Amino acid sequence: MAIAPLLKTQPLIGDQATKAVVLQRLPSARIVHFATHGILDDVQGLNSSIALAPNGSVQGKKVNQGDNGLLTASEILDLKLNAELVVLSACDTGRGRITGDGVIGLSRSLISAGTPSVVVSLWAISDDSTAFLMSQFYQNLQQNLDKATALRKAMLVTKQKYGNPSQWAAFTLIGEAE
């Protein structure tokens, strides 16, 4: 919620954030921020997913047995994204199946779909420290810092408030720094 005003946008929260609505809005978004759960499939990396609201839900209750709300890495590969940055502010979103071609998962799918820069996490993260870090990150971006510097500065400030590296060091930028 604190990030939406920084980006001058209305967030999709709870039941509003269905897979159908997100898929409809993704192609026109300049910055995409997912503050949700990431589901890691390290056996079949393309089955790793971002948890969204099921299409058939109303106020948290399933109305029909339609879409389960999981946006998989495989589905992301089929998208054409125009966003300059996608942030996956969820646990384990930078992990995936390790192959001879590298890590197969959400971050690779987003890059393949056209996003030049992706911020992901490498392990389970705390909600409080992540919210703080992300607010710092977006404030840094608004000061015209490149993405890598904005993330690094956000991590350093978060480190001062949350001393344990498990609370601030999980995030990494993949792709272009500019």
How many angstroms separate the CA atoms of 148 and 127, rounded?
22
Residues 48 and 94 in one domain: yes
Query: What are the C-alpha distances in Å from 122 to residues 84, 88, 90, 134?
Result: 21, 11, 9, 15
Whether residues 107 and 148 fall in one domain: no
Query: What is the pTM (predicted TM-score) of this model?
Result: 0.88
User: Helices (H) and strands (E) in the chain — how many of each?
Assistant: 6, 11
In DSSP terms, 104 is beta-bridged to 97
CA distance 105 to 60: 28
Which is more confidently placed, 62 or 146? 146
Looking at the DSSP bridge assignments, the partners of residue 123 are none
Q: Are 11 and 67 found together in one domain?
A: yes
Pairing outcome for strands 85-88 and 117-121 = parallel
Among the three residues 86, 101, 123, which one is the final residue of a domain in this structure? 123
71-124 pLDDT, tens digit each: 999 999 999 999 999 999 887 677 766 665 556 689 999 999 999 999 999 888
Q: How many domains does the chain have?
A: 2
178 located within any domain: no
Which pLDDT score, from 0 to 100, does residue 103 have?
A: 64
CA atoms within 13 A on the CB side of 134: 26
Whether 160 and 109 map to the same domain: the answer is no
Q: Is residue 95 part of a domain?
A: yes
Q: Are 86 and 38 in contact (CB under 8 A)?
A: no
What single letter denotes the amino acid at residue 5? P
Judge if 27 and 67 occupy the same domain.
yes
Q: Is residue 165 part of a domain?
A: yes
Instruction: Examine the domain organization and report whether 164 and 79 are in the same domain.
Output: no
For 157, the domain range is 125-173
Q: What does the radius of gyration of the chain's CA atoms come to, in whole angstroms? A: 16
pLDDT for res 40:
82
Last residue of one domain, picked from the residues 103, 123, 143: 123
Would you state the pLDDT for residue 12?
Answer: 93
Is the domain of 101 the same as that of 143? no
Whether the pLDDT of residue 43 is over 80: the answer is no
55 found inside a domain: yes
Instruction: Tell whether 82 and 159 lie within a shared domain.
Output: no
79 and 1, same structural domain?
yes
The answer to whether residues 103 and 118 touch, using CB atoms and an 8 Å cutoff, is no
Judge if 118 and 146 occupy the same domain: no
Same domain, 70 and 154: no
In a domain, 7, yes or no: yes
Asked if 19 and 65 sit in the same domain, the reply is yes
The per-residue pLDDT for 138 is 97
